[in-house]
Amino acid sequence: MTTLRLIPTDNIVVFPGMDITLPISVGEENRVLLVPRQDGQFASVGVVAEVGSTLRLPGGVRAVGLKGLVRATAGTAQADSEGNLRVEVEERPDDNPISPEIEELDRNYRAVVAEILELRGDDGRIASFVRAIEAPGTLADTSGYSPDLTFEQKVELLETFDVEKRLTRALQLQRDRLTELELRKRIREDVDTGTQKQQKEYVLRRQMDAIRKELGEDDDAVVDEYREKIAEAGMPDEVREHAERELSRLERMGDQSPESQQIRTYLDWLIAVPWSERSEETLDPEHAREVLDADHAGLEDVKERITDYLAVRKLREERGIEPDRRAGVILTLVGPPGTGKTSIGESIARATGREFIRIALGGVRDEAEIRGHRRTYIGAMPGRLVRALRDAGTLNPVILLDEVDKLGNDWRGDPSAALLEVLDPAQNHTFRDHYLDVELDLSDVLFIATANVVDSIPAPLLDRMEIIRFDGYTIDEKTAIARDYLWPRQLKRNALREGEATVSDDLLKLVIDEYTRESGVRQLEREIGKLLRKTATRVAKAPADSIAIDEAAIRNALGRQKFFSEVASRVSVPGVATGLAVTGTGGDVLFVEVAAVPGKGGLVLTGQLGDVMKESAQIALSYVRSHAATLGIDKSLLRDREFHIHVPAGAIPKDGPSAGVTIVTSLVSLLTGKPVKNTVGMTGEVTLQGRVLPIGGLKQKVLAAHAAGLTDVILPERNAPDLDDVPEEVRKVMHFHPVASVDEVLRIALERYTAAIAA
């Protein structure tokens, strides 16, 4: 601690990095402590300042330049022999930590300041000054330059040592400034335009009044029309009373008031909501299943859930049981793209006899998109839910919330937080849109959400959802979908008659196997469309009753083969093993390659591996080193050698623990010279003791192995019950090997493998 002279700064707050000139004399002092003071009260924190040059102000007053250095706290002040106050000072510099939260605050603060400077007409100098600041704490201190902040607000920032809290408070204060500046700008623009238009509008309104009188129309007729519509809208009592109050305001102010148009727009929206309209629901589970089967192949889980839902609704109605608002269903369909998540929503609406509305949420960042804007804003309008109900014309439609995992958030709010009330059956019967500002009952709406992954959905929102997973289609299911759904649809789109072009199932499987590699059927439909466009060209040139498409026609239309079965060629040499993985687009086959080079026994990892996968590689190598004797590995092969593990494709990020057994197998394969069987795929987390732990996404991985032509799958023993989820036609043609330890994996996976553990 050091002792410095204390200099009060009345009604002035100096921050670190700030320069100030004060009409004082500091003698031989090199540094002083500046402490803000107002009405005789000192702040608890001051700033150590460096004394600069002395100068003379206009009028002959001598002053000194000071530069703030660092925050500091002070002890009790004591007067020295010259009557100056001196205190013991403890400096409190910023540690300027870097965390995701601080980085986000930093970006938001800079964005808000940039908007403020734009509104103030900055010439670029201040913006350049702010851009040059790198430390988050120093960035927050720039708020101290603002003349719009009060003395108390500046002292509050000065007394905040924690950088994240200081930056949070500074961001809040700057947002308040931005809101005030935007309001001033709108008021100024309204005044400028209003004064110019006032006389013109007055003349026009007088002319309109005269025309209305000649036509027998007046304001009373408009009010009477609204009153009649309100009476016919079937609004709840509270909503009707609110609408009548707004109508009374319109009646009192007359049509000449600028606010009258806003009230009329608001009343139009209130009337547009279908308060008493409900579709007559079809509560027939068998009919619903027929409709769903006609529209989509497979997807048994969602079809069974919808028929169960309708069966319960039917029993409630037949037995006179009152509906339970808390028993609402929020289905969330999670799976790879192109698996039918969005289209199944429309089929559910047809099966239940309800209206269907789709709301695309991908990229939505404004909370007002869900809850609507408050009426105080110019151009305010209701949120998407109210607009969806208006478009549906009923209070019980099927509303599909598409791509709910791609919601964003920024300074305008968090839309996913607004959905918490919407998707909670215990709360959504009293949903309140900011624009309408009346309670709206959403409990009769059947909400269906779709997502590719659940990882990006906030946990509180995910807790309100019933997850149904779409794990992709088998080759046989894709063939059936192509034959029964995609082919007829593409025939129609390409102006071909039914039967004018035909193709066999075997050729459809060729298209699936050699031209697509996906869990869904979106790319498959594109390829079929391309094939039929070429066929349409042939028909246009030389009309024919029917064209039977052969392999040559497929090659001509779709080009050379795009995907190949690489397993046999990739694992033909020791050191390569075939793993199974799950990505955002479904299951996939993953090759792990290992090479040994001279070195000091280290480990090189490539292929964009995440932290968890890197740890799996370390565990695998440690297991092989510690169990070399029992694995039948010559220990000399492990000395003075460095192992390089690569997981193609290198441009795609990969992570997760389930590649552990694959890495162990590839290492043992390399060190024993035994290649991995080209029919085997494997998945499982491995421990240092060689235990194989369970993993997730088994169904997707098995489907990927089946599509890649593998016939054997090695899986953790505790995942064996998950095989019930695998389609029966896949289980019939594949062999599954549940294992509990690495030695079992090696005996199954490696060619001609014998080791001490097998003895």
Eight-state DSSP code of residue 394: S
Q: Tokens 């709840």 identify what position?
A: 236
| 358, 498: one domain | no
Q: Cβ distance 715 to 683 under 8 Å?
A: yes
Domain final position from 515, 531, 558? 558
| 317, 392: one domain | yes
Q: Which amino acid is at 295?
A: D
Rounded (5°) CA angle 670-673-675: 80
| 74, 54: one domain | yes
- Pinpoint the alpha helices (H) of 319-448: 341-352, 368-371, 384-392, 415-422
Q: Cα separation of 688 and 164, whole Å?
A: 40
Q: Cβ distance 558 to 516 under 8 Å?
A: no
605, β-bridge pairs: 645
| 265, 354: one domain | no
Residue 431 backbone phi and psi in degrees, to 5: -65, 135
CATH of the domain at 611: 3.30.230.10
| 630, 586: one domain | yes
- Closest residue by Cα to residue 594 from 585, 605, 583, 580: 605
- Pinpoint the alpha helices (H) of 559-641: 567-570, 611-626
- Pinpoint the alpha helices (H) of 216-259: 219-232, 237-253
Q: Cα separation of 167 and 157, whole Å?
A: 9
Q: Cβ distance 624 to 671 under 8 Å?
A: yes
Residue 727 backbone phi and psi in degrees, to 5: -55, 145
Domain final position from 91, 110, 132? 91
| 521, 418: one domain | no
Q: Cα separation of 295 and 304, whole Å?
A: 15
pLDDT of residue 737: 92
- Long-range contacts of residues 284-287, Cβ cutoff 8 Å, at least 24 apart: 284/310, 284/314, 285/310, 285/311, 285/314, 287/351
Q: Cβ distance 633 to 596 under 8 Å?
A: no
Query: How far is Cα of residue 741 from the mean position of the Cα atoms in its chain?
Result: 38
| 688, 637: one domain | yes
Question: 613: phi > 0 → left, psi -120 to 50 → alpha, else beta; which?
Answer: alpha
Q: Cβ contacts of residue 724 below 8 Å, gap of 6+?
A: none
Q: Cα separation of 455 and 358, whole Å?
A: 23
3-class DSSP state of 411: coil
Q: Cβ distance 335 to 470 under 8 Å?
A: yes
CATH of the domain at 525: 1.10.8.60
387 to each of 238, 334, 379, 408, how far by Cα in Å?
A: 21, 26, 15, 21
Determine, yes or no, domain membership for 12. yes
Q: Cα separation of 227 and 502, whole Å?
A: 62
Q: Tokens 């859930």 identify what position?
A: 305
- What is 689-741 written as a DSSP string? T-BEE--S-HHHHHHHHHHTT--EEEEEGGGGGGGGGS-HHHHHH-EEEEESB
| 316, 260: one domain | no
pLDDT of residue 682: 92
- Closest residue by Cα to residue 275 from 148, 442, 122: 442
pLDDT of residue 255: 63
* Token output for 241: 């009373």
Eight-state DSSP code of residue 674: P
Strands 31-38 and 19-22, bridge-based pairing: unpaired
Q: Cα separation of 717 and 665, whole Å?
A: 17
Determine, yes or no, domain membership for 549. yes
| 590, 739: one domain | yes
pLDDT of residue 50: 92
3-class DSSP state of 422: helix
Alpha-carbon torsion angle 449, 468, 356, 268, nearest 10: -30
Please list, residue by residue across 262-301, b when 16 or more beta carbons sit within 10 angstroms of its beta carbon and e when fewer do.
Answer: bbbebbebbbbbbbeeebebbbbbeebbebbeebbbbbee
| 685, 721: one domain | yes
Q: Cα separation of 452 and 403, whole Å?
A: 7
3-class DSSP state of 9: strand
The set of catalytic residues is 658, 701
452 to each of 28, 471, 585, 747, how far by Cα in Å?
A: 70, 10, 8, 37
Mean pLDDT by 10 residues, the chain (759 residues): 86 90 84 88 90 81 88 86 86 85 89 86 80 87 86 90 90 89 83 67 66 59 80 85 84 70 85 86 82 78 82 81 67 82 83 87 82 82 87 88 82 78 80 85 85 82 82 78 86 84 85 80 86 85 80 85 70 85 78 86 84 89 86 80 84 81 90 87 91 88 85 91 85 90 89 56
Q: Cβ distance 469 to 305 under 8 Å?
A: no
Q: Cα separation of 340 and 356, whole Å?
A: 16
Determine, yes or no, domain membership for 208. no
Determine, yes or no, domain membership for 131. no
Q: Cβ distance 245 to 282 under 8 Å?
A: no
* Token output for 404: 């709910």
Domain final position from 558, 590, 608? 558
Neighbours of 597 (CB within 10 A): 10
| 633, 525: one domain | no
- Pinpoint the alpha helices (H) of 57-162: 100-120, 125-131, 136-141, 151-158
Residue 534 backbone phi and psi in degrees, to 5: -65, -35
CATH of the domain at 18: 2.30.130.40
Determine, yes or no, domain membership for 188. no
pLDDT of residue 46: 92
| 672, 701: one domain | yes
pLDDT of residue 218: 54
pLDDT of residue 656: 81
446, β-bridge pairs: 398
- Closest residue by Cα to residue 581 from 474, 467, 705: 705
pLDDT of residue 208: 65
Determine, yes or no, domain membership for 289. yes
* Token output for 270: 């209130």
Determine, yes or no, domain membership for 136. no
- Total domains in the chain come to 5
Determine, yes or no, domain membership for 679. yes
Residue 27 backbone phi and psi in degrees, to 5: 65, -130
* Token output for 446: 């059947």
Q: Cβ distance 733 to 711 under 8 Å?
A: yes
Q: Domain of 226?
A: 218-272
